[in-house]
A = this chain, B = another copy of it.
Amino acid sequence: MKEEIISNLKNIVGKDFVISDLSQMQSYLYDETETLLRPKACEDCVVVKPGSSEEVSKIVKYANKVLIPVVPRGGGTGLCGATIPLKPSIMLSLERLDKIVELDEENLMITVEAGVTLAGLLERLNKHEKLFFPIHPGDEGAQIGGMVAENAGGVNAVRHGIMRNHIKALEVVLPTGELVSLGNKLLKNNMGYDLLNMIIGSEGTLGIVTKATLRLYTKTSNAGTLVVSFDGRKDASLAVSKILQEGITPLAVEYMERFVALESAKHIGKVWPATKGSVDLIFILNEATEDDLYARSEKIVELCEQYNAIDSLIAETTKDQRNILEIRSNAYTAFKENVADALDIAVPPASVPSLIDDLIKIADKYHTVTPSVGHIADGNVHNFIMLENGKLPVCFEDIKEEMYKAAMKYGGTVTAEHGTGKTRKKHMSLQYSEREIEIMKGIKKIFDPNMILNPGTIVN
Protein backbone atom coordinates (compact mmCIF):
# COMPACT_ATOMS: atom_id res chain seq x y z
CA MET A 1 0.00 0.00 0.00
CA LYS A 2 1.32 3.42 -0.97
CA GLU A 3 2.85 5.42 1.89
CA GLU A 4 0.85 8.43 0.81
CA ILE A 5 -2.46 6.63 1.32
CA ILE A 6 -1.39 5.36 4.74
CA SER A 7 -0.29 8.78 5.76
CA ASN A 8 -3.53 10.42 4.59
CA LEU A 9 -5.57 7.85 6.51
CA LYS A 10 -3.47 8.58 9.63
CA ASN A 11 -4.35 12.23 9.18
CA ILE A 12 -8.04 11.33 9.28
CA VAL A 13 -8.19 8.86 12.19
CA GLY A 14 -4.89 9.37 14.04
CA LYS A 15 -1.79 7.21 13.70
CA ASP A 16 -2.81 4.72 16.41
CA PHE A 17 -5.76 3.58 14.37
CA VAL A 18 -4.10 2.63 11.12
CA ILE A 19 -2.49 -0.80 10.64
CA SER A 20 -0.21 -1.23 7.68
CA ASP A 21 1.93 -4.09 8.96
CA LEU A 22 0.80 -7.35 7.35
CA SER A 23 1.42 -9.49 10.44
CA GLN A 24 -0.99 -7.35 12.48
CA MET A 25 -3.51 -7.23 9.67
CA GLN A 26 -4.24 -10.94 9.26
CA SER A 27 -7.35 -11.10 11.43
CA TYR A 28 -8.89 -8.34 9.31
CA LEU A 29 -8.50 -10.14 6.00
CA TYR A 30 -10.80 -13.13 6.49
CA ASP A 31 -14.18 -13.98 7.91
CA GLU A 32 -15.64 -17.35 9.01
CA THR A 33 -16.13 -18.73 5.50
CA GLU A 34 -14.89 -22.33 5.13
CA THR A 35 -11.11 -22.27 4.60
CA LEU A 36 -11.00 -24.19 1.34
CA LEU A 37 -13.87 -22.23 -0.09
CA ARG A 38 -12.96 -18.68 0.68
CA PRO A 39 -11.10 -16.57 -1.86
CA LYS A 40 -7.53 -15.67 -1.07
CA ALA A 41 -7.35 -12.20 0.45
CA CYS A 42 -5.29 -9.53 -1.27
CA GLU A 43 -2.65 -8.63 1.31
CA ASP A 44 -1.78 -5.22 -0.10
CA CYS A 45 -4.23 -3.56 2.26
CA VAL A 46 -4.37 -1.09 5.10
CA VAL A 47 -6.64 -1.39 8.11
CA VAL A 48 -8.25 1.79 9.38
CA LYS A 49 -10.34 2.19 12.50
CA PRO A 50 -12.39 5.38 12.42
CA GLY A 51 -13.70 6.75 15.70
CA SER A 52 -16.78 8.51 14.35
CA SER A 53 -19.26 8.52 11.47
CA GLU A 54 -17.63 11.72 10.24
CA GLU A 55 -14.28 9.95 10.00
CA VAL A 56 -15.93 7.14 8.04
CA SER A 57 -17.32 9.75 5.68
CA LYS A 58 -13.88 11.37 5.27
CA ILE A 59 -12.24 8.03 4.52
CA VAL A 60 -14.82 7.19 1.85
CA LYS A 61 -14.52 10.63 0.27
CA TYR A 62 -10.76 10.23 0.20
CA ALA A 63 -11.09 6.75 -1.33
CA ASN A 64 -13.26 8.21 -4.10
CA LYS A 65 -10.56 10.78 -4.77
CA VAL A 66 -7.75 8.25 -5.14
CA LEU A 67 -10.06 5.48 -6.41
CA ILE A 68 -9.11 2.79 -3.93
CA PRO A 69 -11.70 0.25 -2.73
CA VAL A 70 -13.08 0.41 0.82
CA VAL A 71 -14.15 -2.84 2.50
CA PRO A 72 -16.30 -2.21 5.59
CA ARG A 73 -15.91 -4.80 8.30
CA GLY A 74 -17.83 -5.77 11.42
CA GLY A 75 -17.16 -8.72 13.71
CA GLY A 76 -15.84 -10.93 10.92
CA THR A 77 -18.44 -13.60 11.62
CA GLY A 78 -19.71 -13.70 8.03
CA LEU A 79 -19.98 -16.95 6.10
CA CYS A 80 -19.86 -15.85 2.47
CA GLY A 81 -16.57 -14.00 2.15
CA ALA A 82 -18.32 -10.64 1.85
CA THR A 83 -15.48 -8.80 3.63
CA ILE A 84 -12.46 -10.56 2.13
CA PRO A 85 -10.57 -8.01 -0.01
CA LEU A 86 -9.77 -9.10 -3.55
CA LYS A 87 -7.89 -5.96 -4.55
CA PRO A 88 -5.62 -3.56 -2.66
CA SER A 89 -8.15 -1.99 -0.27
CA ILE A 90 -8.78 0.11 2.75
CA MET A 91 -10.16 -2.34 5.32
CA LEU A 92 -12.50 -0.16 7.34
CA SER A 93 -13.20 -1.70 10.74
CA LEU A 94 -16.18 -0.30 12.64
CA GLU A 95 -14.96 -1.70 15.98
CA ARG A 96 -14.42 1.71 17.61
CA LEU A 97 -17.99 2.80 16.93
CA ASP A 98 -19.07 0.79 19.94
CA LYS A 99 -21.39 3.06 21.88
CA ILE A 100 -24.98 2.46 22.82
CA VAL A 101 -26.39 5.84 21.88
CA GLU A 102 -29.85 5.71 23.43
CA LEU A 103 -32.32 3.30 24.95
CA ASP A 104 -35.69 4.93 24.23
CA GLU A 105 -38.21 3.27 26.52
CA GLU A 106 -41.13 5.39 25.38
CA ASN A 107 -40.76 4.46 21.73
CA LEU A 108 -39.47 0.94 22.45
CA MET A 109 -36.32 1.46 20.40
CA ILE A 110 -32.56 1.38 20.91
CA THR A 111 -29.97 3.27 18.90
CA VAL A 112 -26.47 1.82 18.74
CA GLU A 113 -23.32 2.48 16.78
CA ALA A 114 -22.47 -0.09 14.15
CA GLY A 115 -19.54 -1.62 16.04
CA VAL A 116 -21.60 -2.61 19.09
CA THR A 117 -21.51 -6.40 19.26
CA LEU A 118 -24.58 -8.54 19.70
CA ALA A 119 -23.08 -9.48 23.08
CA GLY A 120 -22.84 -5.80 23.99
CA LEU A 121 -26.43 -5.18 22.96
CA LEU A 122 -27.68 -8.19 24.90
CA GLU A 123 -25.68 -7.18 27.98
CA ARG A 124 -27.28 -3.75 27.96
CA LEU A 125 -30.77 -5.15 27.50
CA ASN A 126 -30.28 -7.86 30.12
CA LYS A 127 -30.00 -5.03 32.63
CA HIS A 128 -33.39 -3.75 31.55
CA GLU A 129 -36.37 -5.10 33.34
CA LYS A 130 -38.69 -5.34 30.38
CA LEU A 131 -37.17 -4.89 26.95
CA PHE A 132 -35.39 -7.28 24.61
CA PHE A 133 -34.20 -7.57 21.02
CA PRO A 134 -35.21 -10.80 19.31
CA ILE A 135 -32.69 -11.47 16.52
CA HIS A 136 -29.90 -13.88 17.39
CA PRO A 137 -27.78 -15.24 14.53
CA GLY A 138 -25.69 -17.43 16.84
CA ASP A 139 -22.30 -15.78 17.17
CA GLU A 140 -22.53 -12.95 19.70
CA GLY A 141 -19.31 -11.48 18.35
CA ALA A 142 -21.32 -10.27 15.35
CA GLN A 143 -21.56 -6.50 15.23
CA ILE A 144 -24.91 -4.77 14.73
CA GLY A 145 -23.67 -3.03 11.57
CA GLY A 146 -22.77 -6.42 10.12
CA MET A 147 -26.09 -7.88 11.17
CA VAL A 148 -27.82 -5.06 9.27
CA ALA A 149 -25.56 -5.42 6.23
CA GLU A 150 -26.18 -9.17 6.11
CA ASN A 151 -29.86 -9.02 7.13
CA ALA A 152 -29.16 -11.61 9.82
CA GLY A 153 -31.60 -14.40 10.56
CA GLY A 154 -31.12 -17.02 13.27
CA VAL A 155 -33.29 -19.36 15.28
CA ASN A 156 -35.87 -16.88 16.56
CA ALA A 157 -37.14 -16.06 13.07
CA VAL A 158 -40.18 -18.29 13.58
CA ARG A 159 -41.75 -15.78 15.93
CA HIS A 160 -39.76 -12.65 15.17
CA GLY A 161 -38.68 -12.80 11.53
CA ILE A 162 -35.38 -11.40 10.40
CA MET A 163 -33.21 -8.35 11.08
CA ARG A 164 -34.99 -6.35 8.34
CA ASN A 165 -38.27 -6.40 10.28
CA HIS A 166 -36.77 -4.64 13.29
CA ILE A 167 -34.62 -1.90 11.77
CA LYS A 168 -36.34 1.49 11.97
CA ALA A 169 -33.47 3.80 11.05
CA LEU A 170 -29.88 3.71 9.86
CA GLU A 171 -27.13 6.24 9.70
CA VAL A 172 -25.19 5.37 6.57
CA VAL A 173 -22.11 6.67 4.80
CA LEU A 174 -22.96 6.38 1.11
CA PRO A 175 -20.31 5.04 -1.30
CA THR A 176 -19.81 8.64 -2.45
CA GLY A 177 -19.05 9.72 1.11
CA GLU A 178 -22.22 11.57 2.15
CA LEU A 179 -23.46 10.82 5.66
CA VAL A 180 -27.23 10.27 5.54
CA SER A 181 -29.97 9.19 7.93
CA LEU A 182 -32.49 6.75 6.48
CA GLY A 183 -35.73 6.22 8.35
CA ASN A 184 -36.29 7.38 11.88
CA LYS A 185 -38.18 6.24 14.94
CA LEU A 186 -41.16 5.71 12.69
CA LEU A 187 -43.40 2.70 12.41
CA LYS A 188 -44.67 3.79 9.00
CA ASN A 189 -43.10 5.88 6.24
CA ASN A 190 -44.27 5.90 2.62
CA MET A 191 -42.35 8.91 1.31
CA GLY A 192 -40.32 8.20 -1.83
CA TYR A 193 -38.53 4.94 -2.54
CA ASP A 194 -37.46 2.76 0.35
CA LEU A 195 -33.68 3.23 0.49
CA LEU A 196 -33.58 1.89 4.05
CA ASN A 197 -34.64 -1.57 2.91
CA MET A 198 -32.23 -1.37 -0.03
CA ILE A 199 -29.27 -0.88 2.34
CA ILE A 200 -30.37 -3.74 4.63
CA GLY A 201 -28.80 -6.93 3.31
CA SER A 202 -26.62 -5.13 0.76
CA GLU A 203 -23.46 -6.52 2.43
CA GLY A 204 -21.50 -3.29 2.56
CA THR A 205 -21.78 -2.61 -1.16
CA LEU A 206 -24.33 0.24 -1.15
CA GLY A 207 -23.33 2.03 2.04
CA ILE A 208 -21.47 1.72 5.33
CA VAL A 209 -23.84 1.46 8.27
CA THR A 210 -22.54 3.61 11.13
CA LYS A 211 -25.58 3.64 13.42
CA ALA A 212 -28.81 1.67 13.72
CA THR A 213 -32.11 2.19 15.50
CA LEU A 214 -33.77 -1.11 16.36
CA ARG A 215 -37.26 -1.93 17.56
CA LEU A 216 -37.44 -3.52 21.00
CA TYR A 217 -40.10 -5.80 22.41
CA THR A 218 -41.27 -6.67 25.88
CA LYS A 219 -39.74 -9.70 27.51
CA THR A 220 -41.70 -12.82 28.26
CA SER A 221 -40.03 -14.84 30.92
CA ASN A 222 -41.52 -18.31 31.00
CA ALA A 223 -39.05 -20.32 28.98
CA GLY A 224 -39.06 -23.99 28.15
CA THR A 225 -37.37 -26.20 25.62
CA LEU A 226 -39.12 -29.20 24.19
CA VAL A 227 -37.44 -32.04 22.32
CA VAL A 228 -39.79 -34.25 20.29
CA SER A 229 -38.41 -37.29 18.50
CA PHE A 230 -39.65 -38.88 15.27
CA ASP A 231 -38.68 -41.81 13.12
CA GLY A 232 -39.01 -39.87 9.87
CA ARG A 233 -38.39 -36.33 8.76
CA LYS A 234 -41.64 -36.21 6.79
CA ASP A 235 -43.67 -36.68 9.95
CA ALA A 236 -41.56 -34.12 11.79
CA SER A 237 -42.05 -31.58 9.06
CA LEU A 238 -45.81 -32.15 8.81
CA ALA A 239 -46.10 -31.75 12.57
CA VAL A 240 -44.38 -28.35 12.38
CA SER A 241 -46.72 -27.25 9.63
CA LYS A 242 -49.74 -28.34 11.69
CA ILE A 243 -48.50 -26.54 14.82
CA LEU A 244 -48.11 -23.25 12.96
CA GLN A 245 -51.55 -23.68 11.39
CA GLU A 246 -53.00 -24.03 14.87
CA GLY A 247 -51.76 -20.56 15.70
CA ILE A 248 -48.90 -21.70 17.92
CA THR A 249 -45.78 -19.69 17.16
CA PRO A 250 -42.82 -20.90 19.20
CA LEU A 251 -39.77 -18.66 19.48
CA ALA A 252 -37.80 -21.25 17.50
CA VAL A 253 -38.32 -24.66 15.90
CA GLU A 254 -35.08 -26.44 15.07
CA TYR A 255 -34.65 -29.68 13.16
CA MET A 256 -31.70 -31.94 13.82
CA GLU A 257 -30.88 -35.37 12.51
CA ARG A 258 -30.05 -37.66 15.41
CA PHE A 259 -26.58 -38.60 14.23
CA VAL A 260 -25.78 -34.91 14.03
CA ALA A 261 -27.03 -34.36 17.59
CA LEU A 262 -24.97 -37.27 18.89
CA GLU A 263 -21.83 -36.10 17.11
CA SER A 264 -22.32 -32.58 18.37
CA ALA A 265 -22.95 -33.72 21.96
CA LYS A 266 -19.80 -35.88 21.85
CA HIS A 267 -17.81 -32.95 20.47
CA ILE A 268 -18.57 -30.79 23.51
CA GLY A 269 -18.64 -33.61 26.06
CA LYS A 270 -22.36 -33.63 26.70
CA VAL A 271 -25.19 -36.12 26.39
CA TRP A 272 -28.09 -35.68 24.00
CA PRO A 273 -31.20 -36.35 26.09
CA ALA A 274 -33.38 -38.09 23.46
CA THR A 275 -32.79 -41.77 22.77
CA LYS A 276 -35.65 -43.04 20.60
CA GLY A 277 -36.17 -42.14 16.94
CA SER A 278 -33.88 -40.78 14.24
CA VAL A 279 -34.66 -37.08 14.02
CA ASP A 280 -35.57 -34.46 16.61
CA LEU A 281 -37.51 -31.25 16.68
CA ILE A 282 -36.41 -28.71 19.26
CA PHE A 283 -39.10 -26.20 20.23
CA ILE A 284 -37.96 -23.14 22.13
CA LEU A 285 -40.87 -21.57 23.93
CA ASN A 286 -41.06 -18.33 25.83
CA GLU A 287 -44.49 -17.31 26.96
CA ALA A 288 -46.22 -14.60 28.96
CA THR A 289 -47.36 -16.89 31.77
CA GLU A 290 -46.42 -20.28 33.16
CA ASP A 291 -49.91 -21.52 32.27
CA ASP A 292 -49.37 -20.49 28.64
CA LEU A 293 -46.05 -22.35 28.63
CA TYR A 294 -47.66 -25.58 29.83
CA ALA A 295 -50.71 -25.25 27.62
CA ARG A 296 -48.57 -24.67 24.54
CA SER A 297 -46.12 -27.47 25.37
CA GLU A 298 -48.97 -29.93 25.82
CA LYS A 299 -50.63 -28.86 22.60
CA ILE A 300 -47.34 -29.20 20.69
CA VAL A 301 -46.75 -32.71 22.00
CA GLU A 302 -50.36 -33.67 21.23
CA LEU A 303 -50.05 -32.42 17.64
CA CYS A 304 -46.67 -34.13 17.19
CA GLU A 305 -48.22 -37.39 18.37
CA GLN A 306 -50.79 -37.10 15.59
CA TYR A 307 -47.79 -37.27 13.28
CA ASN A 308 -46.27 -40.33 14.92
CA ALA A 309 -43.88 -38.65 17.34
CA ILE A 310 -42.38 -41.44 19.41
CA ASP A 311 -40.98 -39.54 22.38
CA SER A 312 -40.87 -36.09 23.93
CA LEU A 313 -39.19 -34.37 26.83
CA ILE A 314 -39.36 -30.88 28.24
CA ALA A 315 -36.41 -29.05 29.74
CA GLU A 316 -37.44 -26.41 32.22
CA THR A 317 -34.33 -25.80 34.27
CA THR A 318 -31.93 -23.30 32.80
CA LYS A 319 -29.20 -25.96 32.91
CA ASP A 320 -31.17 -28.55 30.93
CA GLN A 321 -32.27 -25.98 28.39
CA ARG A 322 -28.74 -24.72 27.93
CA ASN A 323 -27.50 -28.28 27.44
CA ILE A 324 -29.90 -28.82 24.53
CA LEU A 325 -29.22 -25.47 22.92
CA GLU A 326 -25.46 -25.85 23.21
CA ILE A 327 -25.62 -29.20 21.47
CA ARG A 328 -27.78 -27.64 18.74
CA SER A 329 -25.50 -24.67 18.24
CA ASN A 330 -22.41 -26.85 18.06
CA ALA A 331 -23.80 -28.97 15.23
CA TYR A 332 -21.71 -27.01 12.76
CA THR A 333 -18.53 -26.79 14.84
CA ALA A 334 -18.67 -30.53 15.56
CA PHE A 335 -18.45 -31.23 11.84
CA LYS A 336 -16.56 -28.12 10.81
CA GLU A 337 -13.18 -29.81 10.41
CA ASN A 338 -14.73 -32.09 7.84
CA VAL A 339 -17.10 -29.66 6.20
CA ALA A 340 -16.35 -28.39 2.71
CA ASP A 341 -19.40 -26.15 2.62
CA ALA A 342 -22.37 -25.50 4.90
CA LEU A 343 -25.25 -24.64 2.61
CA ASP A 344 -27.96 -22.16 3.49
CA ILE A 345 -30.87 -23.19 1.29
CA ALA A 346 -34.44 -22.19 2.03
CA VAL A 347 -37.60 -23.52 0.40
CA PRO A 348 -41.29 -23.02 1.19
CA PRO A 349 -41.60 -24.56 4.67
CA ALA A 350 -43.90 -27.36 3.51
CA SER A 351 -41.29 -28.48 0.97
CA VAL A 352 -38.56 -29.18 3.53
CA PRO A 353 -39.01 -32.98 3.71
CA SER A 354 -38.94 -33.34 -0.07
CA LEU A 355 -35.88 -31.10 -0.24
CA ILE A 356 -34.05 -33.16 2.38
CA ASP A 357 -34.97 -36.35 0.49
CA ASP A 358 -33.45 -34.82 -2.62
CA LEU A 359 -30.31 -33.69 -0.79
CA ILE A 360 -29.76 -37.18 0.59
CA LYS A 361 -30.26 -38.72 -2.85
CA ILE A 362 -27.67 -36.37 -4.30
CA ALA A 363 -25.22 -37.21 -1.50
CA ASP A 364 -25.84 -40.93 -2.10
CA LYS A 365 -25.18 -40.52 -5.78
CA TYR A 366 -21.77 -39.05 -5.01
CA HIS A 367 -21.06 -41.66 -2.29
CA THR A 368 -21.02 -39.13 0.51
CA VAL A 369 -23.29 -37.97 3.34
CA THR A 370 -24.90 -34.61 3.97
CA PRO A 371 -25.71 -34.03 7.64
CA SER A 372 -28.61 -31.61 8.02
CA VAL A 373 -29.80 -29.24 10.68
CA GLY A 374 -32.16 -26.42 10.11
CA HIS A 375 -34.60 -23.74 11.04
CA ILE A 376 -37.37 -25.99 9.81
CA ALA A 377 -40.35 -23.71 10.46
CA ASP A 378 -38.70 -21.11 8.22
CA GLY A 379 -37.93 -23.65 5.50
CA ASN A 380 -34.22 -23.00 6.05
CA VAL A 381 -31.97 -26.06 5.94
CA HIS A 382 -28.24 -26.04 6.67
CA ASN A 383 -26.83 -29.20 5.14
CA PHE A 384 -23.13 -29.90 4.89
CA ILE A 385 -21.09 -31.02 1.92
CA MET A 386 -18.28 -33.04 3.49
CA LEU A 387 -14.58 -32.97 2.72
CA GLU A 388 -12.91 -36.04 1.21
CA ASN A 389 -9.69 -36.78 3.04
CA GLY A 390 -9.38 -33.17 4.10
CA LYS A 391 -9.88 -31.87 0.58
CA LEU A 392 -12.78 -30.52 -1.41
CA PRO A 393 -14.48 -33.54 -2.98
CA VAL A 394 -13.60 -34.04 -6.64
CA CYS A 395 -17.18 -33.40 -7.69
CA PHE A 396 -17.70 -30.56 -5.21
CA GLU A 397 -19.06 -28.07 -7.72
CA ASP A 398 -21.39 -30.68 -9.25
CA ILE A 399 -22.75 -31.73 -5.86
CA LYS A 400 -23.40 -28.15 -4.89
CA GLU A 401 -24.97 -27.26 -8.21
CA GLU A 402 -27.32 -30.24 -8.00
CA MET A 403 -28.31 -29.32 -4.46
CA TYR A 404 -29.03 -25.75 -5.45
CA LYS A 405 -31.07 -26.96 -8.40
CA ALA A 406 -33.06 -29.18 -6.04
CA ALA A 407 -33.86 -26.05 -4.04
CA MET A 408 -34.89 -24.21 -7.22
CA LYS A 409 -37.39 -26.99 -7.98
CA TYR A 410 -39.40 -25.83 -4.95
CA GLY A 411 -38.93 -22.15 -5.69
CA GLY A 412 -36.15 -21.93 -3.13
CA THR A 413 -33.19 -19.68 -2.50
CA VAL A 414 -29.47 -20.44 -2.49
CA THR A 415 -29.00 -18.33 0.62
CA ALA A 416 -31.65 -17.74 3.24
CA GLU A 417 -29.65 -15.90 5.88
CA HIS A 418 -25.89 -16.13 5.33
CA GLY A 419 -25.71 -13.82 2.32
CA THR A 420 -24.46 -13.78 -1.23
CA GLY A 421 -21.00 -12.36 -0.64
CA LYS A 422 -18.28 -13.69 -2.89
CA THR A 423 -18.87 -17.40 -2.52
CA ARG A 424 -22.49 -17.56 -3.68
CA LYS A 425 -22.66 -14.83 -6.30
CA LYS A 426 -21.92 -17.14 -9.19
CA HIS A 427 -25.21 -18.93 -8.49
CA MET A 428 -27.32 -15.77 -8.74
CA SER A 429 -28.45 -16.68 -12.23
CA LEU A 430 -30.12 -19.83 -10.88
CA GLN A 431 -32.49 -17.57 -9.03
CA TYR A 432 -32.74 -14.37 -11.03
CA SER A 433 -33.33 -13.45 -14.65
CA GLU A 434 -30.79 -11.52 -16.69
CA ARG A 435 -32.87 -8.35 -16.44
CA GLU A 436 -33.10 -8.64 -12.64
CA ILE A 437 -29.33 -8.97 -12.34
CA GLU A 438 -28.92 -6.08 -14.74
CA ILE A 439 -31.18 -3.96 -12.50
CA MET A 440 -29.14 -4.97 -9.43
CA LYS A 441 -25.95 -3.93 -11.21
CA GLY A 442 -27.60 -0.65 -12.19
CA ILE A 443 -28.59 0.02 -8.59
CA LYS A 444 -25.00 -0.60 -7.47
CA LYS A 445 -23.74 1.87 -10.06
CA ILE A 446 -26.26 4.52 -8.97
CA PHE A 447 -25.19 4.29 -5.34
CA ASP A 448 -21.51 3.85 -6.11
CA PRO A 449 -20.53 5.44 -9.44
CA ASN A 450 -16.80 4.87 -8.80
CA MET A 451 -17.36 1.26 -7.66
CA ILE A 452 -15.45 1.97 -4.45
CA LEU A 453 -17.39 -0.01 -1.89
CA ASN A 454 -16.63 -3.68 -1.30
CA PRO A 455 -15.90 -4.73 -4.90
CA GLY A 456 -16.40 -8.39 -5.78
CA THR A 457 -19.38 -8.80 -3.46
CA ILE A 458 -22.92 -9.54 -4.75
CA VAL A 459 -23.14 -8.09 -8.25
CA ASN A 460 -20.10 -5.89 -8.76
A395 at the interface (CB under 8 A from B): no
Q: Which residue of B lies closest to A188 (CB)?
A: B416
Stretch at the interface among A25-33, A114-122, A442-450: A442-450
In Å, the complex CA distance between A165 and B288 comes to 24
Q: A209-229 CB contact bits vs B (8 Å, 1 = yes)?
A: 000000001111000000000
Query: Which of A187, A220, A413, A417 has the largest count of B CB atoms less than 10 A from its CB?
Result: A187
B153, B424, B458: the one contacting A193 at CB < 8 Å is B458
Q: Are B350 and A443 in contact (CB under 8 A)?
A: no
Please give, as numbers and ranges, the residues of chain B lying within 8 Å of A443 by CB-CB distance: 193, 198, 443, 446
Closest beta carbon of chain B to A128's beta carbon, Å: 11
Cβ-based interface call for A269 (8 A): no
Contacts of A192 in B (CB 8 A): 420, 428, 431-432, 436-437, 440, 458-459
Q: Select the stretch in A14-22, A68-76, A100-108, A320-328 that faces chain B.
A: A100-108
Q: Which residues of B lie under 8 Å from residue A446 when comparing CB positions?
A: 439, 442-443, 445-446
A184 interface contact, C-beta 8 A: yes
In angstroms, how far is the closest chain B Cβ from the Cβ of A5? 25
From B186, B191, B217, B415, contact of A348 by CB (8 A): B186
Chain B residue nearest to A288 in the complex (CB): B247
Residue contact B459 to A193, C-beta cutoff 8 Å: yes
User: Smallest Cβ distance from A298 to chain B, in angstroms?
Assistant: 15
- Which of A174-182, A277-285, A356-364 makes up part of the contact surface? A174-182
With the chains together, A439 CA to B447 CA distance in Å? 6
A185 partner, pick from B245, B247, B348, B375, beta carbons under 8 A: B348
Q: Mark A155-189, 1 if CB is under 8 A from B, else 0.
A: 00100011011000000001010101010111111
- Expressed in whole angstroms, the minimum distance between the Cβ of A138 and any Cβ of chain B is 14
Complex contact B411–A185 (CB within 8 A): yes
A130 within 8 A of B: yes
**Is A24 an interface residue, CB under 8 A from the partner?**
no
Chain A interface residue count: which class? 35 or more
Does any Cβ of B come within 8 Å of A244's Cβ?
yes
Please give me the residue from chain B that is nearest to A442 by CB atom: B446
Interface residues of A in 379-435 (CB under 8 A from B): 379-380, 411-420, 424, 428, 431-433, 435
B413 touches A189 (CB 8 A): yes
A201 touches B195 (CB 8 A): no
One digit per residue, 1 when the CB lies within 8 angstroms of any chain B CB and 0 when it does not, for chain A 278-316 equals 000000000010000000000000000000000000000
- Chain B residues with CB under 8 Å of A418's CB are 190
Query: How distant is A144 from chain B, measured CB to nearest CB, in Å?
Result: 17
Q: Is the CB of A378 within 8 A of B187?
A: yes
The answer to the question of A52 belonging to the interface, with a C-beta cut-off of 8 Å to chain B, is no
A424 to B194, CA, bound (A): 16
Q: How far is the CB of A352 from chain B (nearest CB, A)?
A: 11
| Contact of B184 with A348 in the complex, beta carbons under 8 Å | yes
Q: What's the nearest-Cβ distance from chain B to residue A152, in Å?
A: 9
Partner of A347, one of B186, B428, B432, B439: B186
* Minimum CB distance partner of A179 in chain B: B433
Q: What are the residues of chain B within 8 A of A411 when measuring CB–CB?
A: 184-186
For this complex, 24 residue pairs linking A to B, each with C-beta atoms less than 8 Å apart, are A104-B348, A107-B349, A107-B350, A108-B245, A151-B190, A153-B190, A162-B188, A165-B165, A180-B436, A184-B348, A185-B379, A186-B379, A187-B349, A188-B346, A189-B346, A190-B415, A190-B416, A191-B413, A192-B432, A192-B436, A193-B198, A193-B201, A195-B439, A446-B446
Interface residues of chain A, those whose CB is within 8 Å of chain B, are 104-109, 130, 150-151, 153, 157, 161-162, 164-165, 174, 176, 178, 180, 182, 184-195, 197-198, 200-202, 206, 217-220, 241, 244-247, 288, 344, 346-350, 375, 378-380, 411-420, 424, 428, 431-433, 435-437, 439-440, 442-447, 458-459
- List of 10 A-B pairs having minimum Cβ-Cβ separation, nearest first: A218-B247, A442-B446, A185-B348, A106-B350, A184-B411, A188-B416, A197-B197, A189-B413, A187-B378, A193-B440
